[in-house]
């Protein structure tokens, strides 16, 4: 029963990822794609969490944290890139 619920959750997460992917592919503008990617990242976090419950292990908690961090950093860098054209500022005068 519990496992069934988890699988249903996974299914809806997959649908959510696919919908996000559609936005990544289609996305009329670049911010659309970046946002979709961010959403996919969060969905993946949820998916990994459900997996951990399904597989009855704690080994994947690191991954959940990591995806959270990376997804944040990734979205920030994409945003900065879209806004300014570069990610790391090049200090000329110091």
Residue ranges binding other proteins (CB under 8 A): 7, 10-11, 14, 17-18, 21, 24-25, 30, 33-34, 37, 40-41, 44, 47-48, 51, 55, 57, 59-60, 62-63, 66-67, 70, 73-74, 77-78, 81, 85-88
Angle value at C-alpha 19, between 52 and 78, nearest 5 degrees: 85
Smallest separation (angstroms) from other proteins to the CB of 55: 7
Backbone dihedral region for residue 93 (phi beyond 0: left; psi -120 to 50: alpha; all else: beta): beta
The overall longest dimension of the chain from CA atoms, in Å, is 64
Closest approach, Cβ 38 to other proteins, in A, equals: 11
């Amino acid at each position: 029963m519990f496992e069934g619920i988890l699988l249903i959750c996974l299914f809806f997460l997959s649908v959510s990822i696919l919908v996000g992917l559609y936005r990544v592919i289609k996305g009329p503008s670049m911010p659309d794609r970046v946002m979709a990617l961010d959403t996919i990242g969060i969905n993946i976090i949820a998916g990994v969490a459900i997996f951990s419950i399904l597989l009855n292990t704690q080994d994947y908690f690191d991954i959940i944290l990591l995806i959270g961090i990376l997804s944040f950093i990734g979205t920030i860098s994409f945003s900065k890139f879209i806004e300014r054209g570069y990610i790391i500022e090049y200090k000329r005068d110091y």
